[in-house]
Copies of this chain bind each other. A is one copy, B any other.
Amino acid sequence: MAKKQLNIGLIGYGFMGRAHSNAYNKVNKFFDLEYEPVLEAACARKKDNLKAFADRWGWKSVETDWRELVERDDIDAIDIVSPNVTHHDIAIAAAEAGKMVLCEKPLAMNGREGLEMTQAIEKAGVPNMVWFNYRRVPAIALARQLIDEGRVGRVFHYRAKYLQDWTISPDLPQGGPTLWRLDADVAGSGVTGDLLAHSIDTAIWLIGSVDKVSAMTETFIKERPLQDKPEVRKPVKIDDACAFLARFKNGALATFESTRYARGRKNQNTFEVNGELGAVYFDLEDAHQLQYYDHRDDSHVHGWRTVLVTDSGHPYMSNWWVPGCVIGYEHTFINALADFLKSLETGEPVRPNFRDALETQFVCDAVLKSAKTESWESVGR
């Protein structure tokens, strides 16, 4: 049966451009779907680099001005993987041009931008998704399933960490093509938008809305050279680390922490939920596992069980290999894309959409504000 073709225009070609291109290439090989993405056009400012990228990944054409891409009639969906500072204008223009919009996280530089983007998207009524890819880790999806099945019950506690250690060296530059995440003008914030946004999205998905927060941030290395001009050193304006206390609307308590200075932790994105009936624990460094504690077990065999999330009965896994064979980082994007394409078949909107990501953005804003005011701050709407 012939597939329905969905012509994609990708904006940006860095690390995420690679991850998304891979997803477009692979999704139909592993998932049975009506729709098939076509790698129609890739867009970026530096033509040479772009051309090499497009050739490698099979993008059929290139554009150096995203505004032209957005206007092209042959494009059905715009996928935004360019730096955060560009999301706002592109998303709104794409929505106004009637394109479907897929946007990398974090949604925007701040809640104000995010709100405008969300309003534009909703006004246009176009299918949309924000790539909080970790919702598509099978073990995290299983955590959600266990909660939905009532296995956790009333939630007392949530605790999330997202720890890395790659910016400890003071010699690491900031800004430029691969280190724009360290430049507040391009990234909006540091670990809050880059890492905590993931933690917050997961938390909201699993537990519900956050009511208020008390946060602290720190910038450990105060000055760094520029990647583009190593002889120039500039103050670092991003948050190197951020921790916050939170209260969910349902009464659960939470702690969140993120840093790029946690020596020894490479990509330790963890969460734990403690409920009346059970508990779950996840660590992205062991992404193929979910820890689950069931209080209703016979008491002498109470224990945390390590669920190896590779069975065909586990979320997404029937599309991949056989029990005991793990999938990796890149598959979260493929799973997400499959969900997006499936949503076009079923008409059931995919999540998280712009509205969901906006909620996460508002929490980030409250966190950053609280760190400045040194007060508890309510999450805006």
Mark A residues whose CB is within 8 Å of B.
15, 19, 21-22, 25-26, 28-29, 56-57, 142, 145-146, 151, 156-157, 159, 161, 163-166, 168, 214-216, 218, 220, 241, 243-245, 247, 253, 255, 257, 259, 261-268, 272, 274-279, 284-288, 290, 292-295, 297, 299-308, 310-311, 313-314, 320-331, 374-376
SS class of chain A's interface: helix, strand, loop or mixed? mixed
Smallest CB–CB gap between A27 and chain B, Å? 12
Partner of A303, one of B257, B305, B313, B331: B305
Compute how far the CA of A292 lies from the CA of B284 in the bound complex, rounded to whole angstroms.
Answer: 20
Do the beta carbons of B156 and A263 come within 8 Å of each other? yes
CB pair B279 A263 closer than 8 Å:
yes
Give me 30 A-to-B residue pairs in the complex whose CB atoms sit less than 8 angstroms apart, sorted by A's number.
Answer: A15-B321, A19-B321, A25-B26, A146-B301, A156-B259, A156-B262, A157-B259, A166-B323, A214-B374, A215-B245, A261-B274, A263-B279, A264-B278, A265-B279, A286-B288, A287-B326, A292-B301, A299-B311, A300-B307, A300-B313, A300-B314, A301-B305, A301-B307, A303-B305, A304-B305, A305-B305, A321-B329, A325-B329, A327-B329, A375-B375
**Assuming A145-B300, A156-B259, what are 7 further A-B pairs, CB within 8 angstroms?**
A15-B321, A159-B257, A264-B278, A267-B323, A300-B307, A321-B330, A325-B329
Contact of A156 among B161, B220, B295, B304 (CB under 8 A): B220
Most chain-B CB neighbours within 10 Å: which of A261, A297, A324?
A324
In the complex, residue of chain B having the shortest beta-carbon distance to the beta carbon of A273: B263
